[in-house]
Structure 1
């Protein structure tokens, strides 16, 4: 396996890769209706791609208000720290944009992953696209 790297993505230029990953993970695997997966926020979000060589294997997005979403890694690359690399890149970008707080809605099964990254559960469980979720928040550490 090559070293995984994460880069900023361009919604227009990298659209095919972003769509391929999110369609495989959310629409095909998790049965999220396509009309819920694609939204107007994609146009204003900062997008990220995790790459192995020239092949995109994961994606995430950061909204201007600090919401992180659509974190997804293709099945064959899960368990290889791709999600960690993606989230670290998103958190660094959020901090570079002076977003003091990062927020996300996590699938309940993924809460331990996000807790390792400093997120805390701040809501009761709720259904989103038929999948149990909780809201989570991470406060940026002030640099001394």
Structure 2
């Protein structure tokens, strides 16, 4: 396996890869309705793509209020730290933009993953697209 590379993506130029990954993970695997997957934040968010070689295998986005979301890795590449690489890229970008706090809405089964990265659960469990979620927050100043 090649080393995983993450770069900032261009929503327009990299749209096909971002859509391919998010559709595979959220729409097909998790049955999220397409109208809930795509939103106005996509046009303004900073997107990230993870690659193995020249093949895009994961994506995430950072909205300029510090919200990290749409973290998704294709099934065959899970467990290989691709999600860690995407999250680290998003956190660094948030810090570079002086966003003191990063927030996300996590699927409950993924909370331990985000806790390893310094996020804390700040809400009760709730359903989003029929999937149990919690809100989580990470303060940059606490992690410095």
**TM-score, length basis structure 2:** 0.98
Aligned to 1:131: 131
Q: Aligned pair count?
A: 144
Deviations 1:53-94 (A, max 9, x none): 100000000001000000000000000000000000000000
Matched, 1:37 2:34: no
Deviations 1:80-113 (A, max 9, x none): 0000000000000000000000000000000000
Aligned to 1:82: 82
Q: C-alpha displacement at 1:143, in angstroms?
A: 8.9
Matched, 1:17 2:17: yes
Deviations 1:25-75 (A, max 9, x none): 000000000000000100000000001010000000000100000000000
Q: Distance in 2 between matches of 1:22 and 1:43?
A: 15
Do the aligned partners of 2:8 and 2:47 also contact (CA within 8 Å) in 1? yes
Cα–Cα, structure 1 residues 143 and 23, in superposed 2: closer, same or farther, change >3 Å? closer
Q: C-alpha displacement at 1:142, in angstroms?
A: 6.8
Do the aligned partners of 2:118 and 2:143 also contact (CA within 8 Å) in 1? no
What are the within-5 Å matches in structure 2 for residues 2-13 of structure 1?
2-13=2-13
Unaligned runs of 5+ in 2: none
Q: Distance in 2 between matches of 1:50 and 1:25?
A: 14
Structure 1 residue ranges (4+ consecutive) displaced by more than 2 angstroms after TM superposition: 141-144
**TM-score, length basis structure 1:** 0.98
